[in-house]
Structure 1
């Protein structure tokens, strides 16, 4: 059964919707800035910048909605509403028993959990909000999406660290192919710009500490890269069986052609040094899509800007594509958005679909001296045109714990 993308939604460090986010990405703008708080002084947090949302959910949602949802769920609802409207469902909508929701988060309601602990410690257990558990649970975003759109075919939330959003889309693809649903609202969300996650990632030496140059801090593939930049936001896509989409005359952005999922089984945080699991995920996705490497025109890389991880992926892409890698355009959009953790793969799927729709590969910024090992054509600073005709693109997402997800989209 063929699966298509009929709706896109996001709220991100580049914009409050898909149009503004994509416009900023093509312009090569950074969404990273210095945080307006006293965390560094109060707690000694060593990183003072991140990719925060341009449009806070409080400017879009009602006060009662923001009171009952963790920021991660708020962001998911904002993106899901846009994607649903973009898909063009009328008043009749979709048969609820044929509609699913799969929205993931890598960390879940960290703001809610830590705020609740502050309340217990400072004011006593009796002052904890009754909605604390529904707000902090990692499945809260997908549950709220399911409630919003009456999705009864199934509501799921795979938690696989920074691969979570891509895995959600892969599961949505499989949910439709298996016949469980005709339409699935799927994606990822994360709201973890909080002093604890920032301190913890910094303690792992995972974050860039370029406090004097926030917008230049995320620099995938550059020889001076020193870690990733925390981002926040959500990306949501509406997937639909091709038959269902045609029956209602829906606009189709792209086809979802294949998904590959593997596990490194190597280390709780570090990727397997040879990238075998990452390469295998890409191979499986292409195989499932019925494509060869010659069909690939574009890759949106995981590329977080870490000294080790970037080149493991780049070598894997080169190994997979062989000489054809010279004809493939590589983009690393985290250079502009920062790393949305569980939301990254979903936002980058939106970017990948838009790249195919517009035949334009978005740029990678901040790469002034590419790593000499990089053997794939990196799109730097300005967008570049993708070829006409039938083409495919790969979106890679990898997560702590050795989770590897590759999605293949095509037009």
Structure 2
């Protein structure tokens, strides 16, 4: 590609391209580059999926020590339709392929008269720090920390009416997302729109971060929030509005968050803004 700047790979599982979006944003903001290309790619097979299930079984003891009483089975199937945020969620479908996002500085975009979809404003990342790297803290504390790091002192959670979630039909992911936004929004959490499009594409691993950024920027540009695919009966522990059904919701969006997670405890949060957002 005749690149002249840094070229490197990160390995953060399903959060890989999200982490790279954050790296690219920092490099542009620091003046190291004015154009960056971020790609995530993954390939799945039944053997890979079954191996993941085997490893998760090995982590069950750690899960049992931190999970909330009454939670459903932790190991979802992969042979049925995935339903993020739905009460019937018990399955994760896997997709594969590649997603590429091109980021450039505002000055460069303006000089060439580019169409601007929006802005990548900030990135925050944390790890759960649990004894088993395949476990996940259902309290949501690590995701809360990532989002607060992302917002810093410049933005307030009250400015964020929409979050593009990373739920893939796994009830553990839904649990820590619900707990996190409850802590962040408090009594206002019922007004929060939080949707996932994973059931449209399948859980595609490393491309998920770049795909989430692209989808969310399009929603910001069009002031429309896409519904959560295959969510028809929101689960009882859902405290936010997952926009069930098949129709978009009109919302004026200046800011939105997109979140991605890796088995192993990475929580990634990216703040996106409209072209006019401060």
For the criterion TM > 0.5, the same-fold answer is yes
Kept in 2, the 8 Å contact 1:223–1:371? The answer is yes
Moved more, 317-326 or 346-355: 317-326
Bigger RCO (CA 8 Å, 6+ sep): 2
Q: Which residue does the alignment assign to 1:365?
A: 229
Given candidates 199, 203, 207, the residue that maps to 2:50 is: 199
Counterpart check, 1:402 vs 2:253? no
Counterpart check, 1:283 vs 2:135? no
Structure 2: segments with no counterpart, 5+ residues = 58-73
Q: Which residue does the alignment assign to 1:378?
A: 242
Kept in 2, the 8 Å contact 1:231–1:340? The answer is yes
Alpha-carbon distance between aligned partners in 2 of 1:329 and 1:167, rounded to the nearest angstrom: 24
Kept in 2, the 8 Å contact 1:293–1:324? The answer is no
Q: What is the deviation of 1:185?
A: 0.8
Where does 1:34-53 land on structure 2 (aligned, <5 Å)?
Answer: none
Q: What is the deviation of 1:405?
A: 0.7
Counterpart check, 1:172 vs 2:24? yes
Alpha-carbon distance between aligned partners in 2 of 1:228 and 1:176, rounded to the nearest angstrom: 36
TM-score (norm 2): 0.86
Alpha-carbon distance between aligned partners in 1 of 2:170 and 2:247, rounded to the nearest angstrom: 23
Given candidates 309, 325, 349, the residue that maps to 2:189 is: 325
Kept in 2, the 8 Å contact 1:166–1:397? The answer is yes
Kept in 1, the 8 Å contact 2:260–2:269? The answer is yes
Q: For residue 185 of structure 1, give the secondary structure of its aligned residue in structure 2.
A: strand
Instruction: Count the aligned residue pairs.
Output: 256
Q: Which protein is richer in helix relative to its size?
A: 1
Given candidates 188, 194, 197, the residue that maps to 2:40 is: 188
Bigger Rg, which one: 1
Q: Which residue does the alignment assign to 1:345?
A: 209
Q: Which residue does the alignment assign to 1:45?
A: none
Q: What is the deviation of 1:173?
A: 0.5
Q: What is the deviation of 1:210?
A: 6.0
Q: For residue 239 of structure 1, give the secondary structure of its aligned residue in structure 2.
A: strand
1:398–1:374 Cα change, 3 Å: same
CA RMSD of aligned residues (A): 1.8
TM-score (norm 1): 0.59
Q: What is the deviation of 1:361?
A: 1.0
Structure 1: segments with no counterpart, 5+ residues = 1-147
Q: For residue 200 of structure 1, give the secondary structure of its aligned residue in structure 2.
A: helix
Q: For residue 341 of structure 1, give the secondary structure of its aligned residue in structure 2.
A: coil
Q: For residue 93 of structure 2, give the secondary structure of its aligned residue in structure 1.
A: coil
Q: For residue 7 of structure 2, give the secondary structure of its aligned residue in structure 1.
A: strand
Q: Which residue does the alignment assign to 2:67?
A: none
Alpha-carbon distance between aligned partners in 2 of 1:347 and 1:201, rounded to the nearest angstrom: 22
Q: Which residue does the alignment assign to 2:164?
A: 300
Alpha-carbon distance between aligned partners in 2 of 1:281 and 1:187, rounded to the nearest angstrom: 22
Kept in 2, the 8 Å contact 1:208–1:229? The answer is no
Alpha-carbon distance between aligned partners in 1 of 2:75 and 2:202, rounded to the nearest angstrom: 10
1:243–1:399 Cα change, 3 Å: same
Q: What is the deviation of 1:207?
A: 6.4
Moved more, 183-192 or 251-260: 183-192
